[in-house]
C-alpha cells in the first residue's frame, strides 16, 4: 500500500474518536498544529474548521494515506459538498508539511441587521397576538 497523501485530522478521525478506524492502515506522523490560524465550531457534537475566521492554530494528527483511504475520507466528509478538502501547512515536532485538511466555510449573505423579515418583506413587521 503506497501512502502518498498527507492528511491532517482534527476531530472524529483522531485517535480515540469514533471515525479513527478509517485510518487503521495509515502511518501517523504525530500530533501537531496548523501554521495558519483558523476557527473551530462544534455543531451537534461534530467539529468543523472555517478558514473565514482566524482565531488560533488547529491541533490535530498528521497521517499518510493511500488513494483508497483518501477517497473513503472524502466520502465520509461529504467532500466537496459539505466539507471541502484543501491543502494547508502544518507543523509536527519541528517539521513543516503540507497536508490535506477538511474545511467547512458557511455560505450565505451577511445580514445587515438581525431581522430576517427585512430580507423577505423589505422591512421589519410587528406581529400582534389577538386575544
Query: CA angle 97-99-103, nearest 5°?
Result: 135
How many whole angstroms separate alpha carbon 83 and alpha carbon 103?
5
Query: CA angle 59-60-63, nearest 5°?
Result: 150
Catalytic choice (2, 35, 61, 77): 77
Establish whether 35 is a catalytic residue.
no
Q: Rounded to an integer, what is the distance from CA 24 to the centroid of its chain?
A: 21
Dihedrals phi, psi of 75, to nearest 5 degrees: -65, -45
Q: Please list the alpha-helical segments (H only) found in 4-131.
A: 67-77, 117-121
Catalytic (active-site) positions? 77
Amino acid at each position: 500500500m503506497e501512502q502518498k497523501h498527507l492528511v491532517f485530522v482534527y476531530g472524529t478521525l483522531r485517535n480515540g474518536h469514533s471515525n479513527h478506524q478509517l485510518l487503521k492502515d495509515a502511518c501517523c506522523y504525530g500530533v501537531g498544529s496548523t501554521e495558519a490560524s483558523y476557527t473551530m465550531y462544534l455543531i451537534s457534537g461534530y467539529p468543523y474548521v472555517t478558514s473565514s475566521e482566524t482565531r488560533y492554530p488547529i491541533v490535530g494528527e498528521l497521517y499518510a494515506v493511500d488513494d483508497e483511504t483518501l477517497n473513503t475520507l472524502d466520502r465520509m466528509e461529504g467532500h466537496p459538498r459539505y466539507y471541502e478538502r484543501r491543502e494547508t501547512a502544518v507543523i509536527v515536532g519541528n517539521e513543516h508539511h503540507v497536508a490535506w485538511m477538511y474545511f467547512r466555510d458557511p455560505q450565505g449573505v451577511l445580514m445587515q441587521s438581525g431581522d430576517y423579515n427585512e430580507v423577505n418583506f423589505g422591512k421589519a413587521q410587528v406581529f400582534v397576538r389577538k386575544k
